Amino acid sequence: MKELEAKISQAGSLEELEKVRIELFGKRGVLALEFAKLKDIPNSEKKSFAEGLNRKKGELQRLYEKALARLKEKRIEDILKSEILDVSLYGNLDRKGALHPVMETMDRIIEYFIAMNFSVEDGPKIEDDFHNFEALNLPKNHPARDMQDTFFCRDGKLLRTHTSPVQIRTMLEQKPPIRIIAPGAVFRKDYDLTHTPMFHQVEGLVVQDKGEVSFANLKYILSDFLQYMFGDVEVRFRPSFFPFTEPSAEVDISCIFCRGDGCRVCSHTGWLEVLGCGIVDPNVFKAVGYKDVSGYAFGLGVERFAMLLHRIPDLRMLFEGDLRLLEQFR
Ligand code: DAH
């Protein structure tokens, strides 16, 4: 018995104490054996024997409770010690992150148009046929749909191939006048030096209900924008085709690498194509229920701008996440 008392107070862990508890208070424990002796004791001595034993049992129990409380507290302290977290410790604060070159270029583009009083609109990346094609004067089976290799989803939806559907969504939700840009990711089944399956565009749309917009308005703002982005460049408009604009144009800047003399980047033409634009086709206004309005629109690829601004030769490099490339843009 004495020996067990010492064991209780000396137990170093909850597990050790539990073993002692079973040895002492368990069904076949020391105390149970002592109580079993009662039946062999003469009746006259039974009472005092039992009293003595109960007192002893009480003492042992108090001793046990005390040890239990002490060990539980110790357990908590041990956990707190082992899980200590020093929030005042710090690592390499000198390694700053930076914007990805595509996002940085996007921000610069957005900044220009915000300064020119455009607001920024957003739309879903999973689109339907109506917003991505039909309402933009690209009827089913129209050959112009071939210009954009589309990823189709199983439910008839598709990944938007351009940011032009945001034009449609905005016109369906708002009344003219409208003056918006729509930046965002777009998707096409394409992969080579200058194409990736996901890339970014900025779409622009201006619609007026009073006074007609002219091609001159469009020409002015895009020329000013391109000089803001690329510095002192020449800008030219070439007739082209887009289903959602009539007339349509593609816009070139004089090559920023050879200043127009001809080099590999501009395929020795002296010019770099940078965006598409035009006067909004009446069929687009019809699709959204607009009457007696006029407008212009434009669209550009952000990666193309980033590649030219930073002389990045392969578009795919921008999306490989190689830190050696990204660290050059810090
Ligand atoms: N949506 C066209 C594309 O992805 C870009 C574009 C061209 C947008 C002319 C326009 C536009 O709004 O007027 O290739």
**Domains of the chain from N-terminus onward:** 2-82 (no CATH), 101-329 (3.30.930.10)
> Residue 303, Cα to own-chain centre: how many angstroms?
19
The mean per-residue pLDDT over the stretch 71-79 comes to 94
Which of helix, strand or coil describes residue 245? strand
pLDDT at 20: 92
Q: Which two tokens stand for residue 78?
A: 């041990």
> Residue 240, Cα to own-chain centre: how many angstroms?
36
Residue nearest to atom 6 of ligand 1 (CA): 299
The Å distance, Cα 226 to ligand 1 centre, comes to: 16
pLDDT tens by residue, 138-169: 998 887 777 678 999 989 899 999 999 999 99
0.75 exceeded by pTM: no
Distance CA 198, CA 102 (A): 12
The mean per-residue pLDDT over the stretch 252-277 comes to 92
Residue 287 has pLDDT above 90, yes or no: yes
Residues in the ligand 1 pocket, defined by CB under 6 Å: 162, 164, 203, 242, 245, 276-278, 297-299
The mean per-residue pLDDT over the stretch 174-181 comes to 97
